[in-house]
A and B are shown apart, each in its own frame.
Chain A
């Protein structure tokens, strides 16, 4: 390590330009550290951790497995940022500065360059890709087969929601827990969502992570089909945030989550994010959005909320500990901080032990009454003057596991986790984050929960009329403020350490008033009457004064 430091410092003296240094100090050092060791002041507060350049391990490359990136790869990361992480895009500072800062970090990993030169891996070789084929449904379907046969689901989950059997045990080369990508959130793909980007990710592998290179294991054609399948699961742009959930008025309420009515209901998308207002803050929000649908029949409301959570955690449960038990990630030991005890690092493999987790939770927050104007309770669980209702589910483990069944088409199994059952929903009144109490007079909220392949679905049913003054009375036609909370028990979320949305609205459709039709008909009739009167008046005048009509009018009519 000392040698490395001396080496870095000496290179600093003649390898780095003033411009690169200035850009690095202004924009990069806060996370990546003054000497590129990934230890800036912000490093402890972000996840994934900032890159430690001194290890010479770079995730996003166009080069062959285990090799250093090309300069263009690094330029791209700096210019476009890494979606879904705290690495922003710096393209706006200009190409010259981006290039300078990429040159600036090179001395930090000079040791790796020297080693690779010695071993004949430098300059790095670009991984072969061929040309992307034209995508069709057959290729996507075949990609799905490749996905299951190659074991992608072991980590990324049967349906790609990052909930595979190994997902929670994975660690990166910093020995920090790392989750596989959720393939339904393409806008968070670290190295891009284009077909080429996805192809590249499993062709080059992602160094320093359990994501290996599949260049040898899967043929080029199969990899393109796999890329087509992964790309088909989501879009490159995050879904737009809805200002509201519109609850359609229906004759018959859905009895299950799979009722066809849900296909016609508006699906509102709300981003969830971290909580910085109170300690303990949540700087690592894992549940990143919730989709909500609503219908009502004039007396009862049914809400269907869906969110992704790769870990199924309940009161008193435990989960496998994230631990390194795999050694074929091809990461470069020599620059690693772990150098001294590298052998121990792998030799003291144990049977993976378990860690206790907290229950997963979800809550919908309403004000206790519909506000007359735009004032609302403080968005973090209300305030002294304005209380909120929380319809809250906390996982007590009381669900029934659904027997894992083989997929009829592919024969793959044991990649399922499925639980279903009724759950109890508590109704709480909060006047601030530390003044939360159960509302005993509240009306019952019926809950039905389904967890499958990394996704929770919660169906809530309640009368529009609340049970007491402190219980939200829902009225069709009114805009009722609404907000969402989610806790990932596996990440030890509880209390204020939560994922939270902003205030949005619930709007229940009201039956169209007959007066609307009367007024519309009246407008049509009045306009007709006016036109008839104007025509009649004009004709009468034409008869009285025929000289007014102009013989040149043909010209005008053109």
Chain B
């Protein structure tokens, strides 16, 4: 029995399904169920192609189905009777699910690091997103002072959401969808230029382009509430705190992501 192509196909499909639903999620991030369906269709196609690759194999593949349909043995007959009840009910159930009204909220689609504008206006001053560097970095003498200012700003304005340990898990984070940005790791500050970060702090959620769902973002626009120097300080403090370097400005010209 274990050598029968139909049986093997069945086992393979079960394994594939388990891998798509749980295995991928275990190895990296889980994939949505619609994608699992797509992968299963492709897998099924490949398996059928393989089963039909020679006449012998195809006949072997078909044989158990054929034997069940003609009820060769009493066991086959039982299987056929069960299939006659279960398969139509399953088809009915799936159809009902598909055509009945949706009761699940539409999923939020959101661009996490949208492309930045070429330049922004900050308190009437033009800040070029490609060439602008953090001016405080050049000020080696007062480096520690700027860090101290940045730390103060962070713990007076930012840590409520972005957290004591820069993980995006501050004591306000539980209430916001989307969650506040996590600064540690390789997905935010580590891949962004300082001018990009300046843009995000200065213009906040309301300054996001449409694809980043600005209406949902709880990030305040700090222009008018923080000075330019305070923003550059807090950026410098953040990179220092998480122990990463900002992305170089030349590559930032290609966009934020």
Say yes or no for A255: interface residue by CB 8 A criterion: no
- Chain A positions within 8 Å of B142 at CB level: none
Say yes or no for B256: interface residue by CB 8 A criterion: no
- Chain A positions within 8 Å of B64 at CB level: 556
Distance in angstroms between the alpha carbons of A538 and B72 in the assembled complex: 11
- Chain A positions within 8 Å of B225 at CB level: 279
- Chain B positions within 8 Å of A244 at CB level: 105
Distance in angstroms between the alpha carbons of A59 and B87 in the assembled complex: 64
Known contacts A244-B105, A273-B176, A378-B206: does B96 contact A86 (CB below 8 Å)?
no
Say yes or no for B163: interface residue by CB 8 A criterion: yes
Query: Is A503 in contact with B216, judged by CB distance below 8 angstroms?
Result: yes
- Chain A positions within 8 Å of B94 at CB level: 523
Say yes or no for B122: interface residue by CB 8 A criterion: no
Distance in angstroms between the alpha carbons of A535 and B81 in the assembled complex: 11
Query: Is B152 in contact with A41, judged by CB distance below 8 angstroms?
Result: yes
Query: Is A88 in contact with B169, judged by CB distance below 8 angstroms?
Result: yes
- Chain B positions within 8 Å of A527 at CB level: 87-88, 91-92
Query: Is A539 in contact with B70, judged by CB distance below 8 angstroms?
Result: yes
* Most interface-central of B152, B175, B176, B206 (chain A CB within 10 A): B175
Distance in angstroms between the alpha carbons of A527 and B176 in the assembled complex: 47
Interface size of A as a range: 35 or more
Say yes or no for A321: interface residue by CB 8 A criterion: no
Query: Is B80 in contact with A535, judged by CB distance below 8 angstroms?
Result: yes
Q: Which candidate, A99-107, A336-344, A513-521, is the interface stretch facing chain B?
A: A513-521
CB of A44 to closest CB in B, whole Å? 8
Distance in angstroms between the alpha carbons of A246 and B64 in the assembled complex: 47
Q: Which candidate, A61-69, A226-234, A546-554, is the interface stretch facing chain B?
A: A546-554
Say yes or no for B213: interface residue by CB 8 A criterion: yes
Name B173's closest neighbour in chain A (CB-CB). Answer: A273
- Chain B positions within 8 Å of A378 at CB level: 205-206, 214-215
CB of A348 to closest CB in B, whole Å? 33
CB of A101 to closest CB in B, whole Å? 13
* Most interface-central of B84, B152, B215 (chain A CB within 10 A): B215
Query: Is A507 in contact with B105, judged by CB distance below 8 angstroms?
Result: yes
Q: Which candidate, B18-26, B154-162, B244-252, is the interface stretch facing chain A?
A: B154-162
- Chain A positions within 8 Å of B104 at CB level: 243
Known contacts A86-B164, A502-B177: does B218 contact A556 (CB below 8 Å)?
no
Query: Is B95 in contact with A556, judged by CB distance below 8 angstroms?
Result: no
Say yes or no for B103: interface residue by CB 8 A criterion: yes
- Chain A positions within 8 Å of B214 at CB level: 378
Say yes or no for B200: interface residue by CB 8 A criterion: no
* Most interface-central of A26, A505, A526, A538 (chain B CB within 10 A): A538
Query: Is B175 in contact with A502, judged by CB distance below 8 angstroms?
Result: yes
Known contacts A523-B94, A531-B83: does B70 contact A557 (CB below 8 Å)?
no
Name B95's closest neighbour in chain A (CB-CB). Answer: A523
Say yes or no for A271: interface residue by CB 8 A criterion: yes
Say yes or no for A379: interface residue by CB 8 A criterion: yes
CB of B91 to closest CB in A, whole Å? 4
Query: Is A549 in contact with B174, judged by CB distance below 8 angstroms?
Result: no
- Chain B positions within 8 Å of A42 at CB level: 155-156, 159
Say yes or no for A176: interface residue by CB 8 A criterion: no
Distance in angstroms between the alpha carbons of A358 and B213 in the assembled complex: 34
Query: Is B100 in contact with A512, judged by CB distance below 8 angstroms?
Result: yes
Say yes or no for A262: interface residue by CB 8 A criterion: no
Query: Is B70 in contact with A86, judged by CB distance below 8 angstroms?
Result: no
Q: Which of B152, B155, B163 is the one whose CB lies under 8 Å from A88?
A: B163
Query: Is B215 in contact with A553, judged by CB distance below 8 angstroms?
Result: no
Query: Is A531 in contact with B87, judged by CB distance below 8 angstroms?
Result: yes
Say yes or no for A346: interface residue by CB 8 A criterion: no
Query: Is B88 in contact with A276, judged by CB distance below 8 angstroms?
Result: no
Q: Which of B72, B174, B216 is the one whose CB lies under 8 Å from A553?
A: B72
Q: Which of B73, B89, B151, B175 is the one whose CB lies under 8 Å from A524?
A: B89
Contact with B along A80-106 (1 / 0, CB 8 A): 000001101010100000000000000
Distance in angstroms between the alpha carbons of A90 and B167 in the assembled complex: 12
- Chain A positions within 8 Å of B105 at CB level: 243-244, 479, 504-505, 507
Name A271's closest neighbour in chain B (CB-CB). Answer: B175
Say yes or no for A374: interface residue by CB 8 A criterion: yes
Say yes or no for A439: interface residue by CB 8 A criterion: no
Say yes or no for B101: interface residue by CB 8 A criterion: yes
Distance in angstroms between the alpha carbons of A98 and B3 in the assembled complex: 59
Distance in angstroms between the alpha carbons of A241 and B179 in the assembled complex: 13
Known contacts A276-B218, A523-B95, A524-B92: does B164 contact A557 (CB below 8 Å)?
no
Within A238-260, which residues are at the interface with B (CB < 8 Å)?
A: 238, 241, 243-244, 246
- Chain B positions within 8 Å of A276 at CB level: 157, 160-161, 172, 218, 220
Within B158-213, which residues are at the interface with A (CB < 8 Å)?
A: 159-161, 163-165, 169-172, 174-177, 204-206, 210, 213
- Chain B positions within 8 Å of A553 at CB level: 63, 67, 72-73, 76
Name A42's closest neighbour in chain B (CB-CB). Answer: B155
Q: Which of B63, B152, B159 is the one whose CB lies under 8 Å from A550?
A: B63
Please list the 7 inter-chain residue pairs (A to B) with the smallest Cβ-Cβ separation, ordered nearest first. Answer: A273-B175, A538-B69, A42-B155, A523-B95, A502-B177, A524-B92, A30-B155
Known pairs A41-B151, A377-B215. 16 more at Cβ < 8 A? A31-B155, A40-B155, A42-B159, A86-B159, A86-B171, A241-B177, A276-B218, A277-B205, A283-B160, A374-B213, A379-B215, A479-B106, A502-B177, A504-B105, A520-B99, A557-B67
Return 30 A-B CB contacts under 8 Å, by A number.
Answer: A26-B241, A30-B164, A41-B155, A42-B155, A45-B155, A45-B156, A85-B171, A86-B170, A86-B171, A272-B175, A273-B174, A276-B160, A276-B218, A279-B225, A375-B213, A379-B216, A386-B215, A479-B105, A500-B175, A502-B175, A504-B177, A512-B101, A513-B101, A520-B99, A522-B95, A523-B88, A524-B92, A527-B87, A527-B88, A528-B84
